Amino acid sequence: MATMKDVAKAAGVSLSTVSNTLSGNIHVTEATKQRVLEATERLNYQKNGIAADLKSKTMRTIALIVDDLAGPFFSQFIQGIQRVALDNRYDVVACSALGRKDSMGVKFLQERRASGAIVFASDIAEDLLLDSAGRGLPIVAIDRVVADDRLVSITVDNTQGAYLATEHLIQLGHTSIAYIAGSHDSLDDRQRLNGFLQALSAYGLSPYSDLRISGNFTEEGGYRAIKTLVAQKELPSAVFFANDEMAIGGLRALAAEHILVPDDISVVGFDDIVLARYVHPALTTVRQPIYEMGALAMNVLLSSLMGAPPKTTTYTLSCELIQRGSCRRIGSKESDLARDASSGRRS
Amino acid sequence: MATMKDVAKAAGVSLSTVSNTLSGNIHVTEATKQRVLEATERLNYQKNGIAADLKSKTMRTIALIVDDLAGPFFSQFIQGIQRVALDNRYDVVACSALGRKDSMGVKFLQERRASGAIVFASDIAEDLLLDSAGRGLPIVAIDRVVADDRLVSITVDNTQGAYLATEHLIQLGHTSIAYIAGSHDSLDDRQRLNGFLQALSAYGLSPYSDLRISGNFTEEGGYRAIKTLVAQKELPSAVFFANDEMAIGGLRALAAEHILVPDDISVVGFDDIVLARYVHPALTTVRQPIYEMGALAMNVLLSSLMGAPPKTTTYTLSCELIQRGSCRRIGSKESDLARDASSGRRS
DNA sequence: CGAACCGTTTGAAACGTTTCGAACGCAGCA
DNA sequence: TGCTGCGTTCGAAACGTTTCAAACGGTTCG
C-alpha cells in the first residue's frame, strides 16, 4: 500500500505536488502531471480516504440512520434520498440503529463520521440527536417531533390521512366504523385516532364502539382484532386499521370467517405498503409520501450544509387516499348527507 | 468541539493518559480516571472516529455494497449479515453502487474506508474487485463467479433450483412446460434454463416450444410473455418463470384472459420474494437462501479478518422448493412414470 | 542501601493526507 | 542589471487520535 510519499519519491517531486496533481485544485505543468500519474500507476497507489477526510473535514457523506435496514419503508425512503444526493454529488451510507448504544448509527452521530445525518429511527434517543445537533452536525429527523430549533423534523400528517380515510368511508354511506389501533403509546397511532374521531364528529357520527382494540401494528394483531370483533357478534360495516399490516391480517381473518370484503364489510388501511396492492381484495389505504419525505429530507439537509439558514424547523407532509377494492358503497341517501357535511371538513 | 488535548489540559494529565482512560486498553488509577471523565463531561468531548480509524487502521466496519438499496433481496440479505456482524461487534454500513465510477461503493472499495466488504452488485466491475482484494481488502462477492483466489464468492445453485421446480411440475403430471426466460445475457438465467432442460431430459421430455420468450425479469415482461403465449393459441399445462416478478405479471395476464390458475395452468416462479405468498393464488416458487447467504458471507469475511486462510474460494448454496397454491396435479399415470425416472436425478 | 521490579504516567512519533506561506525560476520592464 | 510579478513547486505544519518506549515513584528483595 503505497502512500503519497512513495509516489512523490518515485516521481521525483514533492509530496504537495502529488497532492495538488491528484486533487486537481492547483494547476501543475503537464510534464509533472504525467510524471506523477505514471508513478501512481506504477506503484498501484490508491488514496487513503480516511486520512483525506481527517484533514479536510469535509467528507460529502450523509449518514442515513434507520431502525431497520430491512423495514417496509426503507426501500422507498432511500430512493427519494439517493436521487437528490446523487444529483448533488453527495454520498449516502445507510446504517442501522440496531444494537442501540453502540450501533453504527450512534457512531456516525457521535464521532463526526458524516457531514450530515437523516434519522428515521425511533431507537435513537432524542437527547443524543440534540447533543449531536448542538455540536454542529446538521440533522433531519423523520417521523418525530422535536421542539428544538437545532434540528429540523419532517413528519407526515397522520391526522389528515386518517380523516381522509374515514371521510371516504362515511361518504360511501358507512355509519358504523371501527378503528383498530396500532399501539396506544405511539404518536402515529394517537394522531390517526384523532383524525378518525375528527371526521366522525364532523359528520355527526360517533365511534362504532367504545371498545379500544389494539393490534400492535402487526399482521397477527390485525388478525386477532377481527376475531375479537367477530366474537362481539355485531360487526361494523367498515373497519379502519391504523396500518396496512394489520389490515392485511384482518383481511385474512375475515376470509377465515367467510365474511366477504367488500360486500359484507369495507376495509381501509394506512401506509400503502407494496403488499397492499396485491392482497385480495386489493386494499384501499392511505398513502404516506415516503419517497417525497426522503427527497425533502435530503434537500433540507443539503441547503443546511450550504450554510443556508433553515426556513422552518418542521415540515408536515400530507397523505393521499388510494382507492382500491376493499371498500363498497352502501345505502344511497347517506352519500348525499355526506356531501352536505363535507363543508365541515377540517383544514 | 473539544479534542483530547483539551481534555488532557483540563484534567491536568497528559494526552496519552486521556487516550488510555477512554479506550480502556491500559489501566489507570481510579482517581485520574475520575478526573478525566469529569473533564470530558465538562467539555462535552466526543472522540473523532475518523482520526481514531486513521491511526489504528482497524475500524471494525464492513461495507455492504449493493446495486440498489431498495432492491427486493436487500432486506433479507442484510438481516443475515447484521445478525452475524452484531454478534461479533462489527458494524456494517450499506452503500449503493449507484453512480458507477464514483459511487460510495467504489469509494469504500478503493479508499480503505472499511476493513472488509461484501459485494452484491453487478454494477461493480470485476477488475475493481480484484484490484482491491489484491491490495489486501478482504472481499466476499455474492452472485458472481470470480476465478481468482484473492476473493471468495458465494453463489446460489440456480441450476439445482430450476431442476427442483421443473421436477416438481413433472411429478405433478405435466409434460408440456414452458420456460419464460429473464434476460439472455444473465448468468442466473442461463443456469436456470439449464436446470430446466436437465430436468426435462432426465425425465425424457423435451421443452414445450422452441420459442424463447424473455420477460426481462420484470412483472411487465411476465405479463407480456403470457399474452404472447396465449396468442400462440395452444397453451402449455405449466409455466416456469425465471423469477417471481415475472410470474406475478404472468398471473395477472392469466387472470385477464380468464385462464384459471392452477386449474387450467400451473405456474412456478423463482426467488420467493415476499409478495409470492400474497398473490392470488399464492405462488409456488423456489426459495433462494438469501438470508443464509448474508450470514455466510459475513462469517467468511470475519474469519478472513481473523487471519484464517480461506477453506475454499467458492461456496454454492442450494435452493428449496416452496409449494403453494399455483400448481395442480394433472392426469395420474404420469406421476408413476415420474417416480420411476427420479433415479435419473442429477447430483 | 542499592538494585530490580512493577504499575502508572508521559513524551513523542507516527497515521496519510491537505493546505498555506515561502521559495524558486523566469519573463517583462525600467 | 536589478526589480517586480507570475506561475509552479516545495517544506512544514496541521488534523486528532493511538501506541511505544521511556520516565517516574514506590515497593520489595537481596
DSSP B246-300: HHHHHHHHHHHTT--TTTT-EEE-SB--GGGGTSSSPPBEEE--HHHHHHHHHHH
Q: Does B1 touch chain A (CB under 8 A)?
A: yes
CB of B16 nearer than 7 A to strand C: yes
Which of B98, B340, B297 is CA-nearest to residue B202?
Answer: B340
Residues of chain A found within 8 Å of residue B53, distances taken between Cβ atoms: 50
pLDDT score at B240? 97
Which residue has better confidence, A211 or B341? A211
Cβ contact, residue pair A82, B69, below 8 Å: yes
C-alpha cell at A296: 425533502
- The beta-carbon neighbor of A69 closest among B44, B78, B104 is B78
- Do A187 and A218 reside in the same domain of the chain? yes
B contact residues 57-96, partner A, Cβ 8 Å cutoff? 59, 61, 69-71, 74-76, 78-79, 82, 86, 91-96
Q: Is the pLDDT of residue A126 over 80?
A: yes
- Do A64 and A10 reside in the same domain of the chain? no
pLDDT band at B269 (very low <50, low <70, confident <90, very high): very high
pLDDT, tens digit (0-9, with 9 covering 90-100), for A76-95: 899 899 889 988 888 899 99
CA A282 to chain centre: 23
pLDDT score at B332? 57
How many independent structural domains does chain B possess? 2
Q: What is the mean pLDDT of residues A278-285?
A: 94
Residue type (1 letter), A278: Y
pLDDT score at B343? 43
Cβ contact, residue pair B95, A99, below 8 Å: no
pLDDT band at B218 (very low <50, low <70, confident <90, very high): very high
- Do B129 and B216 reside in the same domain of the chain? no
- Do A19 and A111 reside in the same domain of the chain? no
- Do B192 and B329 reside in the same domain of the chain? yes
pLDDT score at B100? 64
Angstrom CA distances, B330 to A232, B333, B345, stand at 44, 9, 22
- Do A103 and A232 reside in the same domain of the chain? no
Cβ contact, residue pair B93, A98, below 8 Å: no
Q: Is residue B28 part of a domain?
A: no
Residues of chain A found within 8 Å of residue B107, distances taken between Cβ atoms: 49, 91
Alpha-carbon span B277 to A219, nearest angstrom: 14
Q: Is the pLDDT of residue B87 over 90?
A: no
- With CA of A16 and C1' of each nucleotide, the nearest comes out as D10
pLDDT score at B89? 85
Q: Is residue B68 part of a domain?
A: yes
Spanning CA of B55 to C1' of C14, the rounded length in angstroms is 8
Q: Which residue has the cell 502529488?
A: A18
Alpha-carbon span B179 to B31, nearest angstrom: 75
CB of A332 nearer than 7 A to strand C: no
Q: Is the pLDDT of residue A101 over 80?
A: no
The region of weakest confidence among A73-77, B97-101, B179-183 is B97-101
User: CB of B160 within 8 A of CB of B170?
Assistant: no
pLDDT, tens digit (0-9, with 9 covering 90-100), for A218-246: 999 999 999 999 998 878 999 999 999 99
Q: Does A255 touch chain B (CB under 8 A)?
A: no
**Which nucleotides on strand C sit less than 7 A from a protein beta carbon?**
7-21
Q: Is residue A228 part of a domain?
A: yes
- Do B138 and B172 reside in the same domain of the chain? no
Element of type H or E holding A151: none
C-alpha cell at B169: 411440475
Closest residue in chain B to residue A106, using alpha carbons only: B91
Which residue has better confidence, A3 or B342? A3
Residue type (1 letter), A218: T
Q: Is residue A257 part of a domain?
A: yes
Q: Is residue B4 part of a domain?
A: no
Q: Is residue B14 part of a domain?
A: no
pLDDT score at B337? 43
Q: Does B150 touch chain A (CB under 8 A)?
A: no
Closest residue in chain A to residue B94, using alpha carbons only: A94
Q: Does B49 touch chain A (CB under 8 A)?
A: yes
Q: What is the CATH number of the domain that holds B221?
A: 3.40.50.2300
pLDDT score at B336? 42
User: CB of A15 within 8 A of CB of A5?
Assistant: yes
Residues of chain A found within 8 Å of residue B54, distances taken between Cβ atoms: 48, 50-51, 54
pLDDT, tens digit (0-9, with 9 covering 90-100), for A321-340: 999 999 999 975 444 444 44
Q: Is the pLDDT of residue B53 over 90?
A: yes
pLDDT score at B213? 86
C-alpha cell at B324: 403453494
Q: Is residue A119 part of a domain?
A: yes
Alpha-carbon span A288 to A30, nearest angstrom: 55
Alpha-carbon span B321 to A6, nearest angstrom: 56
Buried b (16+ CB within 10 A) or exposed e, A168-201: bbbbbbbbbbbbbbbeeebebbbbbbebbbbbbe
Sign, CA torsion B223/B224/B227/B229? negative
Question: What is the 3-state secondary structure of chain A?
Answer: CCCHHHHHHHHCCCHHHHHHHHHCCCCCCHHHHHHHHHHHHHHCCCCCHHHHHHHHCCCCEEEEEECCCCCCCHHHHHHHHHHHHHHCCCEEEEEECCCHHHCHHHHHHHCCCCCEEEEECCCCCHHHHHHHHHCCCCEEEECCCCCCCCCEEEEECHHHHHHHHHHHHHHCCCCCEEEEECCCCCHHHHHHHHHHHHHHHHCCCCCCCCCCEECCCCHHHHHHHHHHHHHCCCCCCEEEECCHHHHHHHHHHHHHCCCCCCCCCEEECCECCHHHHCCCCCCEEEECCHHHHHHHHHHHHHHHHCCCCCCCCEEEECCEEECCCCCCCCCCHHHHHHHHHHHHCCC
Q: What is the mean pLDDT of residues B132-150?
A: 92
Q: What is the mean pLDDT of residues A298-326?
A: 94
Radius of gyration of chain B (CA): 27
- Do B214 and B78 reside in the same domain of the chain? no
- Domain carrying residue A37: 4-47
Which of B162, B114, B123, B161 is CA-nearest to residue B142?
Answer: B123
- Do B139 and B238 reside in the same domain of the chain? no
Q: What is the mean pLDDT of residues B328-337?
A: 63
Q: Is residue A210 part of a domain?
A: yes
Q: What is the CATH number of the domain that holds A30?
A: 1.10.260.40
- Do A127 and A262 reside in the same domain of the chain? no
pLDDT score at A323? 98
Alpha-carbon span B204 to A172, nearest angstrom: 59
- Do A13 and A69 reside in the same domain of the chain? no
Q: Who among residues 41-60 of B has its Cβ near strand C, under 7 Å? A: 51, 54-55, 57
pLDDT score at A61? 92
Which of B227, B330, B237, B325 is CA-nearest to residue B280?
Answer: B325
Q: Does B174 touch chain A (CB under 8 A)?
A: no
Cβ contact, residue pair A69, B70, below 8 Å: no
Spanning CA of A27 to C1' of D5, the rounded length in angstroms is 18
Q: Does A53 touch chain B (CB under 8 A)?
A: yes
- Do B168 and B101 reside in the same domain of the chain? no
C-alpha cell at B21: 482512560
What is the nearest CA distance from A40 to chain B, expressed in angstroms? Answer: 14
Residues of chain B found within 8 Å of residue A135, distances taken between Cβ atoms: 1, 44, 46
pLDDT band at B210 (very low <50, low <70, confident <90, very high): low
Q: Which residues pair with A64 in a beta bridge?
A: A94, A118
Spanning CA of A55 to C1' of D19, the rounded length in angstroms is 21
Q: Does A47 touch chain B (CB under 8 A)?
A: yes
Which residue has better confidence, B347 or B55? B55
pLDDT score at A210? 65
Alpha-carbon span A216 to B44, nearest angstrom: 39
